[in-house]
C-alpha cells in the first residue's frame, strides 16, 4: 500500500475513534537524540526505538483533549499512582494498533522509555513550553498523549517549531515549576536535567 494513503487512512481512523490530534514521526527522528532522563512515572534513561522493535519505522502520536479536571483524577494502587483516563486512551490507541496489525504490521502501544512530549513535538502536535508540557495551538497544555511504535512505513509530519510561549512567563511567575533552574529546563529530584 502507498505510504501516504496508509498514513491518511490511519490518521482518519484515529480521529474517528477517540483521538483529537494525530501526528506521525519517523523512528529515526527520535532515535537521533542522545540519551536523556525521562521523569514523571518512568524515572529512567531513554531508550531507542530499536530497543523495542528491531525494524521500527514510524511512531503515531495520539493527542486527547483533557477538557475537564476529571482527566487529572488519580488513584493510589499497589504503591503507585494510576490515572484512569490513560486506560481509556490506551483502549483508543489499541484500536489504531489493531488496524495496523490487520494490515500485517507490528505495533507496540506506549513505548514507555521514549519521550512522549518530544515525540509529540516531532510529530507536529505542539511546542514544548516553558512549563515542560506540550502546548498545542488549539488546546494549550490540556492534552494527554499516547503513542504507537510500528514497522509501518508512514509519512512523517513536520515537527512543530513555533514558540507557543513567546514572552509569557505566567507558569514561572505562579511558581508552577518548583524544581526549575531556568525556563524550559526542569530538574528531577536527583538534579538530573529532564526533557523539555
The pLDDT of residue 71 is 67
Q: What is the mean pLDDT of each run of 10 residues along the chain (196 residues)?
A: 96 96 98 84 88 97 86 79 78 96 97 92 95 92 94 98 89 62 46 43
DSSP for 48-60 reads: -GGGT-TT--EEE
80-82 and 75-77 strand pairing: antiparallel
Domains of the chain from N-terminus onward: 3-186 (3.40.109)
The pLDDT of residue 176 is 52
Q: Could you give the 3-state DSSP secondary structure of residue 75?
A: strand
Q: Give the cell for residue 109.
A: 502501544
Question: How far is 37 from 39, CA to CA, in rounded Å?
Answer: 6
Residue whose grid cell is 490511519? 10
Question: How far is 53 from 108, CA to CA, in rounded Å?
Answer: 8
**Does residue 24 contact residue 14 with C-beta atoms inside 8 Å?**
no
Residues contacting residue 15 through CB under 8 Å, at least 6 positions apart: 22
Question: How far is 119 from 100, CA to CA, in rounded Å?
Answer: 19
Question: How far is 31 from 64, CA to CA, in rounded Å?
Answer: 24
Phi, psi of 118 (to 5 degrees): -65, -40
Q: Give the cell for residue 88.
A: 481509556
Can you give the pTM of this predicted structure? 0.84
The pLDDT of residue 191 is 41
Residue whose grid cell is 483533549? 65
Question: How far is 58 from 29, CA to CA, in rounded Å?
Answer: 9
Question: How far is 13 from 85, CA to CA, in rounded Å?
Answer: 20
**Does residue 71 contact residue 115 with C-beta atoms inside 8 Å?**
no
44-45 and 58-65 strand pairing: unpaired
Amino acid at each position: 500500500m502507498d505510504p501516504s494513503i496508509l498514513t491518511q487512512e490511519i490518521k482518519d481512523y484515529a480521529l474517528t475513534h477517540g483521538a483529537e490530534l494525530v501526528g506521525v514521526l519517523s523512528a529515526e527522528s527520535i532515535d537521533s537524540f542522545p540519551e536523556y532522563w525521562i521523569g514523571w512515572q518512568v524515572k529512567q534513561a531513554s531508550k531507542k526505538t530499536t530497543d523495542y522493535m528491531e525494524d521500527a519505522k514510524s511512531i503515531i502520536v495520539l493527542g486527547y483533549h483533557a477538557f475537564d479536571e476529571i482527566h487529572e483524577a488519580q488513584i493510589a494502587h499497589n504503591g503507585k499512582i494510576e490515572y484512569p483516563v490513560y486506560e481509556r486512551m490506551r483502549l483508543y490507541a489499541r484500536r489504531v494498533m489493531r488496524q495496523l496489525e490487520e494490515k500485517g504490521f507490528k505495533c507496540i502501544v506506549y513505548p514507555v522509555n521514549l519521550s512522549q512530549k518530544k515525540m509529540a513535538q516531532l510529530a507536529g502536535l505542539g511546542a514544548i513550553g516553558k512549563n515542560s508540557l506540550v502546548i498545542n495551538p488549539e488546546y494549550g497544555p490540556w492534552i494527554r498523549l499516547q503513542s504507537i511504535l510500528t514497522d509501518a512505513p508512514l509519512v512523517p509530519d513536520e515537527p512543530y517549531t513555533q514558540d507557543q510561549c513567546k514572552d509569557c512567563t505566567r507558569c514561572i511567575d505562579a511558581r508552577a515549576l518548583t524544581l526549575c533552574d531556568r525556563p524550559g529546563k526542569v530538574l528531577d529530584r536527583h538534579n538530573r536535567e529532564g526533557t523539555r
